Amino acid sequence: MSRDSSAAAAGSTETGAKRTGIAATGEILTREEAEAIAKKALSFADPNAETIVNVSLANSQNTRIGINRITTQRDASLGGVAVTTRLNGRIAQGTTQRFDDEGLMQAVKWAEDSAREGPGGRQEMGRLIQPRDYPVPPGLWSEASREVDIPDRIRKAVEAIERADGYVAAGTLDLGINSMLVANSAGLVAYCRSTTGTMELGARTDDNTGSGWAGKAIYDFNDMDTVAVAAKATDKAERSRNPSAVEPARYTVILEPDAYASMIAFMMQYHMDLPSAQRGSSVFADPNGGTKIGQQVFDERLSFVSDPMDPDAPFCPFSGTGVPFDRTYWVQDGILRNLSFGDATAIERGLEYPLANPVSVRLQPKEGTELLTLDEMVETCERGIYVTRLTMGVADFRRLVFTGVTRDGTWLVERGRITRPIKNMRYVDSHMYFLNNLEAVGEPVLAATGGFMLPPVRSRDFNFTAIADAV
Amino acid sequence: MTWSRRDFLRTGSAFAAAGVIGLDGRFLKDPYAAARAYRPFRPLLQDPDVRALAMTALQAARDVGTSYADVRVTSGIARATGAGDRRVGLRRISGSLNFGVRVLMGGAWGFASSTIVTEEEAARIARLAARQASLNPWSQTDNIEMAPAPVVADGQWETPIDLDPWNYTIQDQLELQLEANELVVKIAEAGRPGLRVSSSFSFSRSDVVFASSEGSYIEQRFNNFGGSYVAQVISEDRMEFGLASPESFRTGGYGWEAIEGIPWADDIEQAVEEAYMMLGARDPDVGRYDVVLGSGAVSSILNSTIVRALEYDRVLGYEMHAGGTSYLGPAEEALGQFSFNNPMLNVRATGSVPRAAGVYRWDAEGVAPQDYQLIREGVLVDYFTSREFAPQLDWWYRRNGIETGSRGTAGSAGSTLTQVVAPSIAIMDPGEENVSEEDMIAATEDGIYFPGGGFASVDPPMLNMQGGGGGLIYEIRDGKLGDILRRPSYLANTIDFWRSMDMIGGPDTFAYGGGGTFKGDPSQLIGRTVGAPAARFRNLNVFTYGRR
């Protein structure tokens, strides 16, 4: 494949550029290419060591919107290789961004030099994952996304900007074309490719009293309806003009899924592992010792389930060490069922492999639960506050309590309808509370950050602590 | 010999028999020469291949008609070890090698980056960036022009360190770490059950080459020690934690001297005591208090409420969707006019703080950071800018007889991400008189003392804050420290908060704290150092999260 620099003169050969591969944006590693790199790294490895190699190449594309125009764009081709060596009861990792032999040798050497000797041996290690087949999650890869070129992204951004005319708009359009492969010295080879994207847009009214936001995650670029995102953001901004204050107190809240998605992400990332719970440093530690497995931790209508084959939110079906992500109920009907664990526990329990945590999760209402739309939640609400979005900071890690402020569309609900926009308020609360104080739940949707299928919820007694009088 | 990128990706197998591809895409004849010639990482400094790569990118950008281009190449290595008591976690050595090209074409930006570091890829990436810019419908209307900056044709700088950590092995590092952990383990075994220690050490070195189409060529080597060393205890019901770090444990621009001889050993017992004391904390009584903040607590809240708000891209609304907006605008109404109504408040930028994390000699646009005032006696007099944004303040600079230009406060979270306004060091000046924290406590009747650390949760315009503390927090009764309090927080409006500052610590209370800022899409976390004295704030609204 040749690259003729004159043909690549920027912008001059738009239609031909993609076909000829000149300045193409979406290149990743095929299975064969990734496997060749992994095999090369394995060939440099000490045969007495157990070695795991991860190879990845992601193409990360961004179109940024600020003050109603495209301010910056980015195309990043980001590769990486991680070599994990298990030797003499020690685990070490060497990583490189280089795919050439010198780079691979370096990574192998870093890992092996670190593992071969020194203090702290005797770590418990399970068997390497043996060669196996993994399912291919439907919907995780889209050719349409892979073929996206700069003009396509710009067109989508421009459509959103045009739809937001009359408002001050800022946002981001992101697309990731990703490839990754895990191979190990036991012969395992697992490859996964994915296409993910998001569009987020904030809009302010020209008098700077109203602000709205909307976002959407996609796998297939054809589903990237940026006009709808802009319409939702500007509608929220318009309806937020000239807010008035309500007294901070405990209120019933109607939460859009994106309002609390980062809380769920934080829990999945930092609180779902068994050792933390056993030690006492996770929200799922029982104050009386042990963990809360078997105890009710959320409303009985709610389950948390991770499944790479989830048709609405698929993800790669294995971990960085090749551990299969089996469909896992972390919480079933409100009861904590599982926490992730590593090799030591897997050996102790006689299991073939550990229970790995993919972080991505679906919050699924129990079958037979009446599911309400956001509108229906408003219609059946006597008095409450409708929340579009919350900023999130961790106030108490152990109890998983957060603090932050409402933003981009907060309204008072009275007698079944939205009556007026209200000034932003600070909150101190947690999904550990409001997913227990549940009044109503809706159909899960893909949150804008991607990877999380969350329903809108209505809950009692959400704790607003102060007015945060700024837009 | 040139290589197509596709071929390069295939080198894993295609060239196994023939030889090895080096960094520059040339063959190394003996495939194992590379392994024998193993170097801790690929140094970029004084490397003709790196210069050639940079020049290729700049030439490719020039060839397609860009008016400006810069390229940054990064080669880094980090060695991280973690240990809890006597248990060792994953040992990790991470290498990075990547570059990014930014161009200005038709008055619009383009940016592209890659981890495939070859001349051919450099040319492709430069053209890709140019193509983005040329396709931007706003290119001609925006017509971005950069402020002039001095050309630095041959810039070289390295974070000064005493002992090169790369002369030591990962085993040396772990041995010292376990030795340090043992000091706490021994205390635990001597009758403090439930006491644990958790430590992580990370040395990093990063070579960054900056080259611009204006003729600058700058090589910098950043050395850093990061990590933590924390004594931990847990309450009987496992709901409360006591955590404390020895006061003399230091991170930042250090080499091996950061850990050699365990410089914090003498403070460990004190840290352990503090961790236990935290378990004995009681809930504060909600109400209004005078609050004495140690340097660490001031620097945290200063970063969150003032330093970030001074970033001019936020003021303009570029960060409305990302890092947030700012109450310190618009510039026409704020510069010289906005006042915190507190003459004790003076905020400066500086480029010269030894040992500070993130310190550089030239910023991510090749501009040397200047020492200059942003808030003078409570009044806004300047912003943090970049070469893109400084010209928009030309009217103000002219009026004040200051040359219009960037003051060296552009940063990024690495060469694969584009530059944004991100100063690395900001300082709040201490008072001239030698007021100590003890003096402030003695002068306080009914208050709360936050000695250090802390966190701040602030709304997107940075106007409404909730501040809290890390570590031990004390009540103050009649000028003396009283009970230890559990998680008190203060709520305030930013402007009211700084106006309420009525005592400021002297130079002896001044210290540097770590900070950071989220900027941009995609989001970049950019570290910074914020220096501040201790200070007292009057009549703040204090509450606690309570327990449910």
Same domain membership, residue A189 and residue A141? yes
Residue A386 domain boundaries:
243-471
pLDDT in tens, B123-169: 999 999 999 999 999 987 778 889 999 999 999 999 999 999 999 99
Domain ranges of chain B: 1-38, 41-280, 287-544
3-state secondary structure at position B278: helix
The dihedral through the CA atoms of B414, B417, B419, B425 has a sign that is negative
**Residue that terminates a domain, selected from A216, A235, A254:** A235
Q: Are B278 and B258 in contact (CB under 8 A)?
A: no
Checking if the pLDDT of A39 tops 70, the result is yes
pLDDT band of residue B9 (cuts 50, 70, 90) is very low
pLDDT in tens, A186-222: 999 999 999 999 999 999 999 999 999 999 999 999 9
Q: Do B113 and A77 touch (CB under 8 A)?
A: yes
Q: Which amino acid is at A284?
A: F
3-state secondary structure at position A130: coil
Whether A140 is in a domain gets the answer yes
Q: What percent of chain A is predicted at pLDDT more than 90?
A: 89
Question: For B265-353, where are the E strands, in sequence order?
Answer: 287-293, 347-349
In degrees to the nearest 10, what's the CA dihedral of A319, A321, A326, A328?
-70
- Min Cα distance B235 → chain A (Å) is 9
The arithmetic mean of pLDDT across residues B383-391, rounded, is 97
CA dist B508 → B302, B443, B451, B453, B505 (Å):
18, 18, 14, 17, 8
CA dist A459 → A334, A354, B132, B177, B253 (Å):
15, 36, 46, 48, 48
The arithmetic mean of pLDDT across residues A404-426, rounded, is 97
Checking if the pLDDT of B500 tops 70, the result is yes
pLDDT in tens, A226-283: 999 999 999 999 999 999 999 999 999 999 999 999 999 999 999 999 999 999 999 9
Dihedral class, residue B104 (left if φ above 0, else alpha if ψ from -120 to 50, else beta):
beta
Q: Quick one: pLDDT at residue A5?
A: 33
Checking if the pLDDT of A8 tops 60, the result is no
Set of chain A residues whose Cβ sits within 8 Å of the Cβ of B18:
none
CA dist A234 → A215, A405, A422, B111 (Å):
12, 20, 17, 29
Same domain membership, residue A399 and residue A338? yes
Same domain membership, residue A92 and residue A228? yes
3-state secondary structure at position A329: strand
Q: Which amino acid is at B130?
A: A
Q: What percent of chain B is predicted at pLDDT more than 90?
A: 78
Q: Quick one: pLDDT at residue B35?
A: 36
d(CA A271, CA B385): 40
Listed residue (B409, B422, B437, B412) closest to B532, CA to CA: B437
Residues making up chain B, counted from first to last: 548
Q: Are B436 and B462 in contact (CB under 8 A)?
A: no
Q: Quick one: pLDDT at residue B407?
A: 95
pLDDT band of residue B456 (cuts 50, 70, 90) is confident
ipTM of this complex prediction, to 2 decimal places:
0.93
Q: Do B460 and A470 touch (CB under 8 A)?
A: yes
* Upper half-sphere CA count for residue A325 (Cβ side, 13 Å): 24
Pick among B66, B121, B131 to test the A interface (most A CBs inside 10 A): B131
Count other C-beta atoms under 10 Å from residue A373's C-beta.
12
Q: Quick one: pLDDT at residue B42?
A: 59
The arithmetic mean of pLDDT across residues B357-366, rounded, is 90
Set of chain A residues whose Cβ sits within 8 Å of the Cβ of B12:
33, 36-40, 99, 104
Radius of gyration of chain B, Cα coordinates, nearest whole angstrom: 26
Whether A6 is in a domain gets the answer no
Q: What percent of chain A is predicted at pLDDT more than 70?
A: 94
Checking if the pLDDT of B393 tops 90, the result is yes
Tokens, residue B483: 């009970």
Same domain membership, residue A42 and residue A162? yes
pLDDT in tens, A438-470: 999 999 999 998 899 999 999 999 999 999 988
Whether A3 is in a domain gets the answer no
Pick among B457, B493, B497, B541 to test the A interface (most A CBs inside 10 A): B457
In degrees to the nearest 10, what's the CA dihedral of B104, B110, B116, B117?
10
Dihedral class, residue B50 (left if φ above 0, else alpha if ψ from -120 to 50, else beta):
alpha
How many domains is chain A partitioned into structurally? 2
| Phi/psi at B90 (5° precision) | -65, 135
Listed residue (A243, A250, A178) closest to A207, CA to CA: A243
Same domain membership, residue A225 and residue A252? no
Tokens, residue B99: 């570059």
Set of chain A residues whose Cβ sits within 8 Å of the Cβ of B7:
1
Tokens, residue A189: 């080879």
d(CA A156, CA A201): 12
Same domain membership, residue A420 and residue A368? yes
Q: Do B97 and A113 touch (CB under 8 A)?
A: no
d(CA B365, CA B210): 8
In degrees to the nearest 10, what's the CA dihedral of A333, A336, A337, A342?
150
pLDDT in tens, B226-261: 999 999 999 988 888 899 999 999 999 999 999 999
Q: Do B4 and A2 touch (CB under 8 A)?
A: yes
Q: Do A90 and B91 touch (CB under 8 A)?
A: yes
Q: Quick one: pLDDT at residue A26?
A: 67
Same domain membership, residue A197 and residue A95? yes
Q: Quick one: pLDDT at residue B43?
A: 65
Q: Do A69 and B142 touch (CB under 8 A)?
A: yes
Checking if the pLDDT of A106 tops 80, the result is yes
CA dist A102 → A116, B6, B19, B50 (Å):
20, 18, 10, 16
**Residue that terminates a domain, selected from A179, A202, A235:** A235
Nearest CB to B111 within list A22, A73, A105: A73
Judged by average pLDDT, the poorest of A102-116, A419-433, B483-497, B507-521 is B507-521
* Angle (deg, nearest 10), helices B48-63 and B119-135: 30
Same domain membership, residue A258 and residue A117? no
**Residue that terminates a domain, selected from A235, A256, A284:** A235
Whether A458 is in a domain gets the answer yes
Count other C-beta atoms under 10 Å from residue A319's C-beta.
19
Whether A4 is in a domain gets the answer no
Alpha helices in A31-119 (DSSP H): 31-43, 101-116
* Closest chain B CA to residue A84: B92
Q: Quick one: pLDDT at residue B527?
A: 85
Q: What percent of chain B is predicted at pLDDT more than 70?
A: 91
Whether A406 is in a domain gets the answer yes
3-state secondary structure at position A233: helix
Same domain membership, residue A264 and residue A183? no
What homologous superfamily is domain B41-280 in, according to CATH?
PmbA/TldD superfamily (3.30.2290.10)
Same domain membership, residue A129 and residue A38? yes
Same domain membership, residue A132 and residue A262? no
Listed residue (B254, B207, B253) closest to B73, CA to CA: B207
Q: Are B41 and B75 in contact (CB under 8 A)?
A: yes
Q: Are B232 and B209 in contact (CB under 8 A)?
A: no
DSSP string, A159-222: HHHHHTTTEEEEEEEEEEEEEEEEEETTS-EEEEEEEEEEEEEEEEETTSS-EEEEEEEESSGG
* Closest chain A CA to residue B92: A93
Whether A15 is in a domain gets the answer no
pLDDT band of residue B4 (cuts 50, 70, 90) is very low
Checking if the pLDDT of B5 tops 50, the result is no
- Min Cα distance B39 → chain A (Å) is 8
Q: Which residue has the higher pLDDT, A22 or B52?
A: B52
Same domain membership, residue A221 and residue A100? yes
Whether A151 is in a domain gets the answer yes
At a CB cut-off of 8 Å and minimum separation 6, what does A367 contact? none
Pick among A97, A286, A398 to test the B interface (most B CBs inside 10 A): A97
- Min Cα distance B310 → chain A (Å) is 17
DSSP-derived secondary structure letter, B41: S
Set of chain A residues whose Cβ sits within 8 Å of the Cβ of B181:
none
Q: Quick one: pLDDT at residue B36?
A: 35
Nearest CB to A77 within list B64, B115, B521: B115
